Structure 1
Amino acid sequence: MAEKEDDIHVVEAVGRSRIIIKDGKVAGVSVSQLRQCPLAKKFALPVDDITPDAVQANIEHRMASWGMCQPHRKISGSVDFVGFGASELISSGILAGSLDAAVLACDGAGTVIVTTPEMVQGIGGRMSGLVSTSPFTEEMDRIEQGGGIVLDRAHAAIDPVRGVSLAYEKGFSHVVVTVASAKAAAAIHAQYPDVFIFGVHMSGITQADAELLVAVADIVTACASKWIWQIAGARALVQAGTAVPVFALTKRGKQLILDKIARSDRPILVSGSKLPIYGPEIPDPLL
């Protein structure tokens, strides 16, 4: 485990509310920019009224139930938390064989390379936007014992550009990366044009960054971003969901969503339409 003075993690959740977790406890929660979010209402501990106290209670529930930002954090899972979330779609792609490695951010480990659907879902299924983290030796050991690769064991750095580079160095050829930064996405695409780019945690992104991201990404999550809704939505080949949707911007992004649908037993409505489609309940306000 990291030394106590280094045990600090910063997470963004529920409309870019910034949460600081120190020494295994929530040390600070900023006020969210959202009044309501349909996804937050479906959390294991729902957040109906988005207040700092409600956000803190949700984060503490995550810490208690699966060890978020703690050395004993669960790193494997198989339950879909949402129909078309990033980890759910990536897990499906690995199962289908269209993807062979996922570059993700993980609390307690930083950027990691994961090759199994169970670890993709365990790491990403309940995780929010990770800004920074501290290393936990025990957790990183378990990730590597399960076939994963940790980019930076000493500092748990979050660096998707270096993570993608390492994935290709290790011999993977169908790599997907989750990115929360348009500039990182553009840098990755410039160096590795074949990498599958999945944009996540988009709330509050600027119009310029949304344009930059949409130009290089395969799939983006809408989150509470008015610019992603507008720009990605208008250019999308597929929109999956109407409350907090994902937009497929390329044919392989579209195929990943279709493969997920094919593997599911859930009933699905397929209908041609001009996009985006706004559901009756979406994040409010769009940022």
Structure 2
Amino acid sequence: MAANGDEHVIEAIGRCRIVIRDGKVVEVGEPQIRDCPLAKRFAYPIPDIKKESVKANIEHRIKAFGMCTPDREVLDNREFVGFGASEILSFSLATGALDAVVLACDGAGTVVVTKPAMVQGIGGRMSGLCKTSPHRAVIERIEKDGGFVLDHKYAAMDQVAGVALAVEKGFRKVAVTVALPGDAEKIRRIHPETLIFAVHVTGLTPEDAEVLASNADLITGCASKAIREVAGPKALLQAGITIPIFAMTKRGKELIIGKIRQGSEQVLIKPTRLPSLSPDQPGPLV
């Protein structure tokens, strides 16, 4: 258990720092952005990003699926956005393009997931996890459904070690979500075949954006000005025009095209200079 007991720290809704202890929201920092089109479409919408509305949204997540508690649900088959990180990765697991995904999960830390519903259940409803405490029930739930937990004792988050665990378990088509540019750089060097999906990038410096653009296969735009300016022009494909996903490599591009190919949604495809953005961006971009 963590030094402060059952404590979880997440950054949500424009890198707003939130502390949850014993299932209660005890601290909410100042949001860095004021408006987000995606937040308006949450299951518990946030039309106006203020500390009070952020707190209410997190409390809804705790009540709805047990986020940051021993009751945390880890399976879900619903798509929350068309081209979110969890949607792309869970689809790729289902089609065999991937055979394992390394994620961070509240109550468990870094995990290796093998089922599409678990990728969606964990990642589709999780904001940027900075720190977590172990919950035995959550760890057992993950392992019962074929997942692997890196650190049972402390629920450490170490995506580099998570990829090593996936490889040790015999998986060869591995994807990992990373929030730290240094992790992306290290994974690319040590495990070059790993598909790297950069997430939680709001607030990155241009230098960090350059590191991700050079090492990640896919990058979500979040509310990042640097990612749009640095990664956008170098991308091979962009999915979405409000919260864009940038495919930086052919492999990343193939995953998005594969999802489009088997989907039933209407899609516009046209050659253009990237990034191509709608006027309705998160604001301000940081």
Smaller-chain TM-score range?
Answer: over 0.9
Mapped to 2, the partners of 1:94 and 1:177 lie a distance apart of 12
Mapped to 2, the partners of 1:23 and 1:66 lie a distance apart of 15
Partner of 2:270 in structure 1? Answer: 271
Partner of 1:286 in structure 2? Answer: 285
Mapped to 2, the partners of 1:136 and 1:77 lie a distance apart of 19
Partner of 2:115 in structure 1? Answer: 116
Does the CA-based 8 Å contact 2:11-2:17 persist in structure 1?
yes
Per-residue deviation, 1:280: 2.1
Does the CA-based 8 Å contact 1:133-1:157 persist in structure 2?
yes
Partner of 1:185 in structure 2? Answer: 184
What percent identity do the matched residue pairs reach? 53
Mapped to 1, the partners of 2:27 and 2:263 lie a distance apart of 39
Mapped to 2, the partners of 1:279 and 1:173 lie a distance apart of 38
Partner of 1:171 in structure 2? Answer: 170
Instruction: Letter of the 1:255 partner, please give it.
Output: E
Mapped to 2, the partners of 1:284 and 1:5 lie a distance apart of 34
- Structure 2 residue 108 is the aligned partner of structure 1 residue 103: no
- Paired residue secondary structure (2:18): strand
Instruction: Letter of the 2:244 partner, please give it.
Output: P
Per-residue deviation, 1:96: 1.4
- Paired residue secondary structure (2:274): coil
Per-residue deviation, 1:3: 8.4
Mapped to 2, the partners of 1:130 and 1:172 lie a distance apart of 25
Instruction: Letter of the 1:273 partner, please give it.
Output: T
- Paired residue secondary structure (1:6): coil
- Structure 2 residue 256 is the aligned partner of structure 1 residue 248: no
Partner of 2:7 in structure 1? Answer: 8
For normalisation by structure 1, the TM-score amounts to 0.98
Mapped to 2, the partners of 1:255 and 1:24 lie a distance apart of 40
Size of the aligned set, in residue pairs, is 286
Per-residue deviation, 1:5: 4.8
Per-residue deviation, 1:4: 10
Listed one character per residue, the Cα deviations across residues 158-205 of structure 1 (whole Å, up to 9, x for unaligned) are: 000000011101110000000000001101111011100000000001
Listed one character per residue, the Cα deviations across residues 95-121 of structure 1 (whole Å, up to 9, x for unaligned) are: 111100000000000000000101100
Partner of 1:133 in structure 2? Answer: 132
Instruction: Letter of the 2:75 partner, please give it.
Output: S
Does the CA-based 8 Å contact 2:2-2:154 persist in structure 1?
no
Listed one character per residue, the Cα deviations across residues 118-148 of structure 1 (whole Å, up to 9, x for unaligned) are: 1100000111000000000011001001000
Partner of 1:261 in structure 2? Answer: 260
Specify every segment of 5 or more residues in structure 1 that has no aligned partner in the other structure, as ranges: none
Q: Superposition RMSD on alpha carbons, in Å?
A: 1.1
